[in-house]
Amino acid sequence: MTKRDAIDWAGAAAPGLEDFDLMARDAFAELPEDFRRLCEGVVIRVEDFPDDETLDEMDCETEFDLLGLFRGRGLAQGAASMQTGEFPNMIWLYRRPILDFWAQQEETLGAVVTHVLVHEIGHHFGLSDEDMEAIEASAR
């Protein structure tokens, strides 16, 4: 590799919350159309880490243990009949734990974000691991 072809690592930075949010939206846009239509009303949020209450509730040992989380009513629990005062169904993607997980993988960051997003949406629909793998594969 010549000096001209070298990557400018001095200018490289980890994606911030805004870039991560864009990446999550792009990943969602690449999912099969029928699947996205079923997700109407699901809010996707990106945070650096889960809050302390979530970490305690999920029995996490460290703030890096949780990559994403679905909160709300899945379709099996009557998500279509939201009650007054209830929050909408939400998916959190946790940027720093995802970056840490990605650093240990051979996949692209986009593939890891898609994986976590599909997995959390899968909780909403009560999908099996095989179903989620098929959806992920069709998004690539």
User: How many Å apart are CA 89 and CA 80, to the nearest integer?
Assistant: 10
pLDDT surpassing 60 at residue 55: yes
Q: Is residue 77 part of a domain?
A: no
pLDDT at 64 over 90: yes
- Percent of the chain topping pLDDT 90: 54
CATH of residue 39:
3.30.2010.20
Instruction: Please state which of the ranges 2-11, 92-101, 116-125 shows the lowest mean pLDDT.
Output: 2-11
What is the domain extent for residue 47? 16-72+87-139
Averaged over 97-125, what is the pLDDT? 92
Position 80 pLDDT exceeds 90: no
Check whether 4 has a pLDDT greater than 70.
no
92 has which bridge partners? Answer: 45, 69
41 within some domain: yes
Quote the CA–CA distance of 94 and 113 in Å, as a whole number: 10
CA-to-CA distance for 100 and 110, rounded, in angstroms?
A: 14
User: Does residue 9 fall inside a structural domain?
Assistant: no
In a domain, 5, yes or no: no
CB atoms inside a 10 Å sphere around CB 77: 10
Asked if residue 77 has pLDDT above 70, the reply is no
Pairing of strands 68-71, 90-94: antiparallel
The model carries a pTM of 0.83
Please indicate, yes or no, if residue 6 is contained in any of the structural domains.
Answer: no
